[in-house]
A = this chain, B = another copy of it.
Amino acid sequence: MKTPASTLEFAILGLLSRQPQSGYDLRKAFATNLRYYSDSPGSVYPALRRLEARRRIGVADPPRRKANSRGRQTFRLTDSGKAALVAWLEQPAGEDASRNLSELMLRFAFMDLNVPRSTTLRFLNELGDALAARAKELRQRYAAMSSRMKVNTGLLSFEAWIVSVEGYVRWARRAHGRLSGKSQRVS
């Protein structure tokens, strides 16, 4: 059985792990609470059908609904869906962190309730280290570039990239501190 592939599908699994909800609810969550993900019906509903076909999710309230009816359906994770979600969450952050940042942040958002706190903390360490290494490398390239040319938009754009990566490094360190502090026994 194929494992869910697209990030959108994992985002759906993650949201459903918090609480069962409908496709419409998911779309609203994508539009407001979650960065990066599509809230268009043409992506969400087909993704739900794919997940249902693979038994990762199921309809929570099948009783009333004639064939081919519409109306609201509430989806929930199946055991296999939960397992797929956890397997995705437990992957290491990896060295190519800055390429996948958006996906890594999404994974992080769903770690509570699904993986132990220790896994989350390890993830933050790996992420912080990988991003710090990347930032250093970018800084070196920046130094070489900036010595060859005057200030220009290409250079400034590159700088924005670096600043962004460094911002995430600081965030990761702070987040680690906050999660490993007094509130450690949240779950």
Contact = CB atoms under 8 A, between A and B. Distances in A.
Interface of A: 18, 32-33, 35, 105-106, 108-112, 120, 141, 150-154, 156-161, 163-164, 167-168, 171, 175, 178-179, 183, 186
Contacts of A112: 152-154
Contacts of A33: 158
Nearest to A154: B109
A101 to B, nearest CB: 10
A141 B163 CA distance: 25
A160 B164 CA distance: 11
A178 B150 CA distance: 11
Contacts of A151: 178-179, 183, 186
Contact of A157 (B105, B161, B183): B105
Given A150-B186, A186-B152, A160 B105 contact: yes
18 contacts: A18-B154, A32-B141, A35-B161, A106-B157, A108-B153, A108-B157, A109-B158, A110-B153, A112-B152, A112-B154, A150-B183, A150-B186, A151-B178, A151-B183, A152-B186, A156-B175, A159-B171, A160-B175
A168 B160 contact: yes
Most central of A153, A159, A178 by chain B CB within 10 Å: A153
B154 A163 contact: no
Nearest to A111: B153
A10 to B, nearest CB: 14
B179 A156 contact: yes
Contact of A109 (B157, B163, B171): B157
A32 B110 CA distance: 31
B168 A164 contact: yes
A91 to B, nearest CB: 15
Contacts of A159: 171, 175
